[in-house]
Chain A
Amino acid sequence: MYKESIGGRIFVILNTIFITLVIAVTILPFILVVNGSIVSETEFFRTGGVILIPSSFSLDNYRFIFNEGSVLSSFLVSVKRLVIGVPFAMLLTIILAYAMTKKDMPGHGALMVFLIFMMYFDGGMVPRLVLYKDIGLYNSFWVYVLPMGISVFNALLLRNFIQTIPESLSESARLDGASESTILFRIILPLSKPGIATIALFVAVSHWNDWFTGIAYMKQVMGALPMQSYLRKMMTLGQLDLMAMGNMQNMITPPPETLKMASIVATTVPIVIVYPFIQKYFVKGILIGSVKG
């Protein structure tokens, strides 16, 4: 341990204050939104939305949004695309990552050049819309699943992980007569579980957070949109739209601000719950990726 000088001690104190401030600024918007969504209407307007410690409690906002049937249907769309989309993407990504590790495979060099091109060249949103309309993906549930099949970046991360498995394992299996597919499924896959889990989490989070597909490539029927797209629609609704919603449910409409806060919380809770568990895998993943492979 260093013996701290006076200046050193002042530095430590200032530094601690600075970091604490950064944390506070990061977390404060979340606290204000959660608190705004659970206090009574009168408290919200009295405080102008600045509520650090709520003094009243009301679930009116949540009752209202969950009474509107399309939230639950949107939630199910989100879950369904995760359940189908993540295994689909992982299957393709694993195969591609494994092929990338085979440096002596004829065509390997061409494959890498092709992938780099695919990673950085994008046809653009409009040609994509034209394509989806042509092949019947437009306004179909599958538009959430199929286009998210492969991210070259994720495949590169997984390749770097697989490369850490000693080559001698596959070599000796090969000498024992195992075929390349046996080596992939019986040796590489079981040993890559941590890497595969990390990439699966990446894919799951991008599925959950994807709002654009639902807005751009679906007809705007609330119940057919995933949660994030539903929230995007909800954020653009004015007071009159929300009151119309309330009339349909025979309910008094809470203020648009707090309703929107409640929708934000409902959309974000799943991420925040799993976040502490998955955070370290993401950091590990990004670091594997940044070390030159």
Chain B
Amino acid sequence: MAKKEINGEGGAIQVPTRGLRFRFKRYLPIYLLMIPVMLWFIIFQIAPIYGLQLAFKDYNVMKGVWDSPWNNFAHFKQLFSNYYFSRVLVNTIKISFLRLITSVPMAVIFALLLNEVRNVAFKRVAQTISYLPYFISWVVAGGIFNLMLSPQYGAINAIISFFGGEPIYFLGDPKHFVGTVIVTGIWKTLGWDSIIYIAALSSIDQELYEAAHIDGANRFQRMIYISLPSLMPTIVMLLTLGLAGILSGGFDQIYNMYNPRVYSVGDIIDTYVYRQGFEMGDYAFNTAVGLFKSVVSFILIMSANAFSRRVVKYSMW
């Protein structure tokens, strides 16, 4: 079938929108194909929402999810008076915020400077290497940093000792943990984050640079007065999205780098929920914590998208 000559005249054939019944019939095969897709969504995305009722119940393993008694929002009333919840909430926001205000400028600077490199081969090698850490998991990256930053046989502390310094417990000391998380986080995502800026830079009209050059602007001035302003919409958008993700904090990274000594500063909502829910088996309260995070994040992301659509004319869908 359909092997006949295909008329390649782009857009030559106009078919007016037909009636509802006709379109139902036409798309019947698509509806049939969509059955397994919708089944997948029901089982793996919607059924867990059913489990959310645990957040409003006193979970009893013997009775199961459905028959456990309702507890009149007891878990939610407990949330804000719970010492650990306030602690992980503050830690999460602090880490996300620090991450955001450092990683966005770093990626912009890296993109701007990479954009100034004229040697194509050097530029390509630099890009390829800078994306690499994005492709390894946080188990691997966390493992590498745990080894490198160890006060005993870690390479970094060997160098510090060589220059006469005292070994630093980067991952075991609450004073250093957050900073270490931020820096290693930038190590992993700097190159990847810069991709979107590099793309935006390459779409700038070259005549702008020519004109500025004729007017006597040097390289640095061209970068500050032409390249940087062109990136502003993208920067605003990514900052907005980053703020919307403020309750995430980076589970994969923190779970693979923290330890009980730094819980006071490094424990975030997701790591807390995981530890209490999976390792301690306290399902109900942690479902409530998770639900709080999901709902707030969902509202934030919707507002961020609305904001970004209005202000920089970009929306995610």
Of the listed residues B51, B125, B252, B278, the one surrounded by the most CB atoms of chain A closer than 10 A to its CB is B51
A238 sits at the interface (CB 8 A): no
Contact with B along A222-259 (1 / 0, CB 8 A): 00000011011001000000000000000000010100
Residue of B nearest to A29 (CB): B144
Interface residues of A in 248-274 (CB under 8 A from B): 255, 257, 260-261, 263-264, 267-268, 271-272
B60 sits at the interface (CB 8 A): no
A57 sits at the interface (CB 8 A): no
Q: How far is the CB of B171 from chain A (nearest CB, A)?
A: 12
Q: Which residues of A contact B11 (CB under 8 A)?
A: 166-168
Return the contact of A118 from the options B45, B145, B157 (Cβ within 8 A).
B45
Q: If the complex has contacts A105-B23, A125-B273, A209-B137, are A156 and B317 also in contact, measured as CB distance less than 8 A?
A: yes
Contact A50 B287 (CB under 8 A): no
Q: If the complex has contacts A171-B13, A175-B13, A211-B137, are A123 and B52 also in contact, measured as CB distance less than 8 A?
A: yes
Contact with A along B198-214 (1 / 0, CB 8 A): 01000000000000010
Return the contact of B130 from the options A16, A23, A229, A263 (Cβ within 8 A).
A23
Q: Which residues of B contact A130 (CB under 8 A)?
A: 51, 54, 65, 283
- The total of interchain contacts (Cβ-Cβ below 8 angstroms) comes to 285
CA distance A182 to B110 in the complex (A): 47
Contact B220 A235 (CB under 8 A): no
Interface residues of B in 104-137 (CB under 8 A from A): 110, 113-114, 116-118, 122, 125-126, 128-133, 135-137
Q: If the complex has contacts A19-B126, A102-B27, A105-B27, are A124 and B291 also in contact, measured as CB distance less than 8 A?
A: yes
Contact B158 A181 (CB under 8 A): no
Contact B187 A26 (CB under 8 A): yes
Q: How far is the CB of B163 from chain A (nearest CB, A)?
A: 12
Q: Which residues of B contact A36 (CB under 8 A)?
A: 147
Q: How far is the CB of A165 from chain B (nearest CB, A)?
A: 11
Interface residue stretch chosen among B82-90, B91-99, B148-156, B173-181: B148-156
Contact A25 B187 (CB under 8 A): yes
Q: Is the interface of B mostly helix, strand, loop or mixed?
A: helix
Contact A124 B294 (CB under 8 A): yes
Contact B129 A23 (CB under 8 A): yes
Return the contact of A124 from the options B218, B256, B290 (Cβ within 8 A).
B290
B70 sits at the interface (CB 8 A): no
Contact A260 B190 (CB under 8 A): no
CA distance A176 to B161 in the complex (A): 77
In this complex, the interface size class of chain B, counting residues with CB under 8 Å from chain A, is 35 or more
Contact B9 A168 (CB under 8 A): yes
Contact with A along B5-42 (1 / 0, CB 8 A): 01111111101010010011011111001101100110
A149 sits at the interface (CB 8 A): yes
Q: If the complex has contacts A98-B30, A102-B30, A235-B143, are A16 and B287 also in contact, measured as CB distance less than 8 A?
A: no
B253 sits at the interface (CB 8 A): no
CA distance A187 to B4 in the complex (A): 12
Contact A104 B196 (CB under 8 A): no
Contact with B along A135-171 (1 / 0, CB 8 A): 1000000000011011000001000000000111101
Residue of A nearest to B297 (CB): A120
CA distance A33 to B150 in the complex (A): 13
Q: If the complex has contacts A127-B50, A129-B278, are A121 and B298 also in contact, measured as CB distance less than 8 A?
A: yes
User: Other CB < 8 Å A-B pairs besides A49-B147, A149-B44, A264-B144, 6 of them?
Assistant: A30-B144, A98-B30, A104-B23, A124-B291, A130-B51, A212-B252
